[in-house]
Chain A
């Protein structure tokens, strides 16, 4: 392990905002993409079921 303490890890040597901003944003956007797709999938499935009846 490279870090000595949690606060040091969070501070990222003064680059905390930029590093955590990048990582946070990347995974937030990826999660949103997944969530939107799930929603679309659900909507399509409902449509298909309606048509099948």
Chain B
């Protein structure tokens, strides 16, 4: 018998393991990152480079691209652990499944959402965004991408082990992403029209809080159904 680990250290181990595994397959993580940069850079090529137009489009373009980037990696969130039985082992351990799920979500966010928070302002510069707009863009993405990972986890667990998962996850998850998109892009838009972004940001925070409570629960229920 090995020594009994505290809940905290077990959860930390799960998080550490997920990040290590992802690090071994860096190309997957980098792909999401590059997808965001390339896809966002395509829009000016389609619309023309009028700085005013680009500035008006930027919140929507950057937010929708971020949303799609986060979605791309959802199908991998649980898939490999599900395929090799690790997930079942984790759930059989005496740690609450909700917390395990929360750690998986956190790992996903750190690998696919968080990098976007840092690169988005750079892309924002290409779209002629002002300093104030860039700040709010980064802040809204910081809160919003975590909500995206949380909500996305529901789609990932519901479709676990089904063939042709990618498109199905998109259909399930995109409608649920709408409030995050509206309030996230809305905060940046508020700055553009000279209104305080605080209202939009608090609403985004409320959505994040709701997702923090409900998404792990729903994901846990979906995991149990998938593993039955």
A adjacent to B, CB under 8 Å: no
Q: Residues of A with Cβ closer than 8 Å to B?
A: none
Q: Residues of B with Cβ closer than 8 Å to A?
A: none
